């Protein structure tokens, strides 16, 4: 039975939003069991030879997302940073453009990229209100995720982050997201405070949690951000270090056989 992207968001029974960085990684993740794919602004930037934090343009993000949508037959959600502009109208336009390229939803941060400075809460809420209005005007369902990134960026505390999530909820967001709270127990506090689905990030210390652990906290969706892309970069780093420093090629013998990759990509 087909389950809509929205219906995948079940508090206490989270699905894994598998963040990919190109068509090939998206197809592999889908073949291996992903129920939905997410883009990753950081991982996408890495493929362009750029650092994270606001280095990708809106058109680049849209084209990248469209390529991933075309590569898989499961829902794709876009990591669209701060909506690629400060004013609410720009964020609303970004929502409409995202839907046009086939995305099932996007996430919007409350950060004035490329800096880590958060928008004033009033403006942050107006931006989500405009995005939600645009999302509701679409002809197809669209899941809008509102992010409070100031806790992770060290710009405000958990209480302010939760207050922002509550305001984003009232403004019309469908899913709420506060990346990397100070303690794992804070996930429970966040999920109990919010009536709508909550996204959590499996990165850093939170990779020690299992899916069942996230479920017990009440999480509805687990995204991995650029974590998987960074794992691949570690493989490149370690293998290249062995080659160039020691003349050792042993790490290259540990790769997945080409036939196995071909089989996954052909599914």
Alpha helices, DSSP H, located in 158-226: 158-171, 186-193, 211-217
Which one, of 104, 103, 84, 86, lies nearest residue 6 by Cα? Answer: 104
Residue 149 φ/ψ, nearest 5 degrees: -95, -5
Which residues neighbour 187 within 8 Å (Cβ) at sequence distance 6 or greater? 181, 198, 200, 214, 217, 218, 219
The average pLDDT across 129-144 equals: 98
Tokens linked to 153: 């960026």
- The DSSP code sequence of 82-102 is T-SSSSHHHHHHHHHHHHHTT
**Structural domains of the chain ordered from first start:** 8-228 (3.20.20.60)
Give the pLDDT of residue 261: 92
Give the pLDDT of residue 51: 85
**pLDDT band at 87; cut points 50, 70, 90:** very high
Q: Over the stretch 52-65, which tens digit does the pLDDT of each residue have?
A: 877 899 999 999 99
Is the bond into 119 cis (omega within 30 degrees of 0)?
Answer: no
Give the pLDDT of residue 200: 98
Alpha helices, DSSP H, located in 11-106: 23-31, 41-47, 58-71, 88-100
Tell me if residue 225 falls in helix, strand or coil: coil
- The DSSP code sequence of 241-255 is HHHHHH---GGGGGS
Q: CA angle 94-121-197, nearest 5°?
A: 65
249 pLDDT higher than 90: yes
H or E, element range at 16: strand 15-20
Q: Over the stretch 4-52, which tens digit does the pLDDT of each residue have?
A: 999 999 999 999 999 999 999 999 999 999 999 999 999 999 999 998 8
Q: Of residues 53 and 137, which shows the higher confidence score?
A: 137
% residues pLDDT > 90 (the chain) = 95
| Mean pLDDT of the residues in the chain | 96
**pLDDT band at 1; cut points 50, 70, 90:** low
Residue 186 φ/ψ, nearest 5 degrees: -65, -25
Tokens linked to 167: 């305001």
Within 124-211, strands assigned E span 143-147, 175-177, 198-201
Q: Over the stretch 171-209, which tens digit does the pLDDT of each residue have?
A: 999 999 999 999 999 999 999 999 999 999 999 999 999
């Amino acid at each position: 039975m087909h389950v809509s992207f929205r219906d995948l968001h079940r508090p206490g029974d989270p699905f894994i939003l598998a963040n990919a960085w190109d068509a090939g990684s998206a197809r592999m993740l889908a073949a291996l069991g992903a129920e939905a794919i997410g883009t990753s602004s950081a991982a996408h930037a890495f493929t362009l030879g750029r650092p994270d934090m606001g280095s990708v343009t809106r058109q680049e993000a849209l084209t990248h997302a469209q390529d991933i949508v075309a590569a898989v037959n499961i829902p794709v959600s876009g990591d669209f940073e701060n909506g690629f502009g400060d004013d609410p109208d720009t964020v609303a336009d970004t929502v409409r453009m995202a839907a046009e390229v086939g995305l099932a939803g996007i996430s919007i941060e409350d950060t004035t990229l490329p800096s880590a400075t958060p928008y004033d809460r009033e403006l942050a809420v107006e931006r989500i209100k405009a995005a939600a209005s645009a999302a509701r005007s679409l002809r197809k369902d669209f899941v809008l995720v509102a992010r409070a990134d100031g806790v992770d960026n060290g710009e405000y505390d958990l209480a302010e982050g939760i207050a922002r999530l509550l305001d984003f909820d009232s403004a019309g967001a469908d899913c709420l997201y506060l990346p990397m709270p100070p303690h794992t127990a804070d996930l429970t506090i966040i999920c109990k405070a919010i009536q709508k689905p909550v996204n959590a990030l499996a990165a850093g210390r939170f990779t020690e949690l299992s899916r069942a652990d996230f479920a017990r906290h009440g999480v509805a969706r687990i995204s991995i951000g650029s974590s998987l892309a960074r794992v691949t970069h570690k493989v490149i780093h370690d293998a290249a270090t062995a080659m160039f420093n020691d003349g050792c090629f042993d790490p290259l013998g540990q790769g997945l056989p080409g036939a196995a990759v071909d089989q996954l990509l052909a599914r």
